[in-house]
């Protein structure tokens, strides 16, 4: 991307690295996370206005301690080391790091002792958040101590003549209330950044880049109706207009009115829009199938077949547009954990390599909230931008057991009522994901004087930050009562509603 000023964040494995990137971007400065081992050449190529060394769980004396490439401190680029980042600076330049008598974790009062651009405008005393095992016991030559706490006599240092700083606490977390101002002092005062990175700057520069890159070539995009693919398509559409062809497949597993709502927006877009009603194909392939993984496989394969057929009809296409986001691509030590494997089964198939399409991923540098802001710039309607995530296999994993048109017809209105009530009460936006599930059991009820033997709807609503862990949402009881009443009264074939009170882990968000 053709950028404004850039801050590079070298990741030493801290759980907070992404937060540092977000905080810097919130200041209006573009930031990128790179592995700690980035070479000097690569660093120069990135042309950063400043470098932040993140924290990390290691000790600089460990045999496999991640250390920055030699020479990084001589680059004449302003540097800020946070926690472990401070320790690697000190270690590299002749200071001394030792194991603290006990881990220091939590709030501390920082006393600023020497004037420093880093603490400019912040007074003499600040509340900060500490989380470290090692600490600095001797500063390197040429450095001075600029702040201390009761437990850490050396809590912040700076080079006497160059813009190199280190701080033991975490300015990126909310528990350091004035942390954003400290980061702001670094990026504006020391690095000279302008703070002109925002959604409209991103949209304008990305449109230009896509135009230049694609020229008269064509691109193809599979739309899901969700935030990411919609914003990616809107952006590419704005750049190349009808050279972009978007395909939206009705799998027969969408929610009530979803296909119509989504189509009515897409039909007015800049790109060529193709709607494929493949519901019969999917439903007949899924007939008699009850195993969730088998359902997913069938749906994935069928989806690819439809996409290939469309591509053949459309003709020569060079690029495939995907709504990949930044958290999916960060090459960092801290994100190589189990999250990568948990996510893999969620991607629908993958396209066959013989289609020879190059990937165009215009959102790969953005976080979700930035995607929403870019979407607003592109006039994507709020009902798409603020939507809860919806799984690729759709209602197939929410009709437990066999999927039939009749069972889908019971689930859809129940799900609609649930979401309607959540929206009307203002709960929808507080929740990560909410949906109804049709269980494969029947239970006894009584309606009027009649005994009934009908279906059970389970309601699932969770709060979460990323879908990896989740808590069940504490929806007010009177609202649950209203939802349950409406579902039982309005949806034929349901005589019982239950609310799922399991967290993830050990449960998952979806039931299948
Ligand atoms: P689980 O159920 O694994 O879900 O806790 C975590 C998140 O992933 C979504 N999900 C899927 N998304 N294809 C998708 O595109 C899938 O097969 C799939 N399974 C689960 C789920 O809705 C939640 O947001």
Which one is catalytic: 4, 32, 83, 181?
83
* Cβ(168)–Cβ(155) below 8 Å: yes
Q: Which two tokens stand for residue 484?
A: 């349950």
Contacts of 215 (CB under 8 A, 6+ apart): none
Distance CA 287, CA 402 (A): 7
Concerning whether 301 is annotated as a catalytic residue, the answer is no
Pocket of ligand 1 (CB under 6 A): 296, 346, 389, 391-393, 433, 467, 504, 508-510
Which atom of ligand 1 approaches the CA of 388 most closely?
Answer: 24
Distance CA 293, CA 290 (A): 9
Which atom of ligand 1 approaches the CA of 392 most closely?
Answer: 15
Which one is catalytic: 132, 135, 159, 172?
172
Distance CA 106, CA 119 (A): 20
Q: How far is the CA of 273 from the centre of ligand 1 (A)?
A: 26
Q: Is residue 326 very low, low, confident or very high in pLDDT (cuts 50, 70, 90)?
A: confident
Closest CA to 479 of 424, 434, 404: 424
Residues of the chain with CATH 3.40.50.620: 199-385
Which one is catalytic: 170, 246, 365, 512?
170
Residues of the chain with CATH 3.30.300.10: 398-499
Q: How far is the CA of 7 from the centre of ligand 1 (A)?
A: 33
Q: Kindly report which listed range (82-86, 399-403, 449-453) carries the lowest average pLDDT score.
A: 449-453
Residue holding tokens 């700057």? 201
* Cβ(127)–Cβ(176) below 8 Å: yes
Computed from CA positions of residues 148, 151, 152, 153, in that sequence, does the dihedral angle turn out positive or negative? Answer: positive
Which atom of ligand 1 approaches the CA of 296 most closely?
Answer: 17
Cα-trace Rg, the chain: 27
* Tens digit of each residue's pLDDT (9 = 90 or more) over 196-214: 999 998 999 899 999 999 9
Q: Which two tokens stand for residue 149?
A: 């706490």
* Tens digit of each residue's pLDDT (9 = 90 or more) over 130-160: 988 888 999 999 999 999 999 899 999 999 9
Which atom of ligand 1 approaches the CA of 468 most closely?
Answer: 6
Q: Is residue 346 very low, low, confident or very high in pLDDT (cuts 50, 70, 90)?
A: very low
Q: How far is the CA of 393 from the centre of ligand 1 (A)?
A: 9
- Given 3.30.300.10, 2.10.109.10, 3.40.30.10, 3.10.129.10, which CATH number is that of 398-499? 3.30.300.10
Residues listed for the chain: 512
Concerning whether 170 is annotated as a catalytic residue, the answer is yes
- Given 3.40.50.620, 3.50.50.60, 3.30.2290.10, 1.25.40.10, which CATH number is that of 199-385? 3.40.50.620
* Tens digit of each residue's pLDDT (9 = 90 or more) over 24-60: 999 999 999 999 999 999 999 999 999 999 999 899 9
Report how far Cα 506 is from the mean position of its chain's Cα atoms: 22
Q: What is the 3-state secondary structure (H, E, C) of 343-363?
A: HHCCCCCCCCHHHCCEEECCC
Mean pLDDT estimate for the chain: 91
Residue to probe by mutation, ligand 1, list 348, 431, 509, most atoms within 8 Å of CB: 509
Concerning whether 135 is annotated as a catalytic residue, the answer is no
Q: DSSP secondary structure string, 286-307?
A: TTT---HHHHHHHHHHHHHHHH
Name the class of domain 6-190. Answer: alpha beta
Q: How far is the CA of 409 from the centre of ligand 1 (A)?
A: 22
pTM for the model: 0.77
Distance CA 36, CA 45 (A): 15
Q: What is the 3-state secondary structure (H, E, C) of 9-28?
A: EEECCCCCHHHHHHHHHHCC
Distance CA 509, CA 512 (A): 9
Q: Is the pLDDT of residue 311 over 80?
A: yes
Q: How far is the CA of 434 from the centre of ligand 1 (A)?
A: 12
End-to-end C-alpha distance for the chain, whole angstroms: 39
Which atom of ligand 1 approaches the CA of 507 most closely?
Answer: 5
Residues of the chain with CATH 3.40.50.880: 6-190
């Amino acid at each position: 991307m053709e950028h404004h000023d850039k801050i590079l964040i070298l990741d030493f494995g801290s759980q907070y690295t992404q937060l540092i990137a977000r905080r810097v971007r919130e200041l209006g400065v573009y930031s990128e996370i790179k592995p700690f081992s980035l070479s000097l050449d690569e660093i120069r190529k990135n042309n950063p206005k400043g470098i932040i060394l993140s924290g990390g769980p290691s000790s600089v004396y460990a045999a496999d301690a991640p250390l920055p490439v030699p020479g990084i401190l001589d680059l004449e680029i302003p540097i800020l080391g946070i926690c472990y980042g401070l320790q690697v600076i000190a270690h590299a330049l002749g200071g001394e790091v030792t194991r603290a008598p006990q881990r220091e974790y939590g709030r501390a009062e920082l006393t600023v002792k020497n004037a420093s651009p880093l603490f400019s405008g912040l007074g003499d005393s600040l509340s900060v958040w500490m989380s470290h095992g090692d600490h600095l016991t001797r500063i390197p030559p040429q450095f001075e101590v600029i702040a201390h706490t009761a437990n850490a006599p050396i809590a912040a240092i700076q080079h006497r003549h160059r813009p190199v700083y280190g701080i033991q606490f975490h300015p990126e977390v909310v528990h350091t209330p004035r942390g954003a101002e400290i980061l702001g002092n670094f990026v504006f005062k020391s690095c000279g950044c302008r703070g002109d990175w925002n959604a409209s700057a991103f949209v304008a520069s990305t449109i230009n880049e896509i135009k230049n890159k694609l020229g008269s070539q064509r691109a193809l995009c599979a739309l899901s109706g969700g935030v990411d693919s919609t914003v990616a398509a809107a952006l590419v559409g704005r750049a190349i207009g009808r050279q972009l062809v978007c395909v939206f497949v009705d799998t027969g597993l969408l929610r009530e009115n979803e296909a119509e709502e989504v189509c009515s927006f897409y039909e007015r877009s800049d790109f060529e829009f193709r709607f494929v009603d493949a519901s019969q194909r999917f439903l007949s392939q899924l007939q008699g199938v009850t195993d969730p993984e088998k359902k997913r496989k069938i749906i994935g394969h069928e989806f690819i077949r439809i996409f290939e057929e469309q591509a053949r009809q459309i003709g020569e296409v060079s690029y495939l547009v995907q709504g990949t986001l930044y958290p999916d691509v960060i090459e960092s030590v801290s994100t190589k954990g189990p999250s990568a494997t948990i996510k893999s089964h969620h991607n629908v198939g993958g396209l066959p390599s013989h289609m020879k399409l190059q990937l165009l991923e215009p959102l790969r540098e953005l976080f979700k909230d930035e995607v929403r802001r870019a979407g607003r710039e592109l006039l994507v309607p709020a009902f798409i931008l603020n939507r809860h995530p919806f799984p690729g296999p759709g209602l197939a994993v929410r009709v437990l057991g066999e999927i039939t048109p009749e069972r889908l017809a019971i689930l859809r209105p129940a799900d609609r009522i649930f979401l309607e009530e959540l929206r009307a009460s203002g709960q929808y936006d507080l929740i990560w994901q909410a949906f109804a599930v049709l269980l494969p059991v029947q239970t006894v009820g009584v309606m009027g004087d009649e005994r009934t033997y009908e279906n059970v709807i389970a309601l699932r609503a969770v709060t979460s930050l990323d879908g990896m862990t989740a808590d069940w949402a504490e929806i007010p009881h009177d609202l649950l009562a209203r939802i349950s009443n409406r579902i039982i009264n309005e949806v034929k074939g349901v005589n019982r509603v239950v609310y799922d009170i399991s967290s993830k882990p050990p449960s998952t968000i979806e039931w299948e």
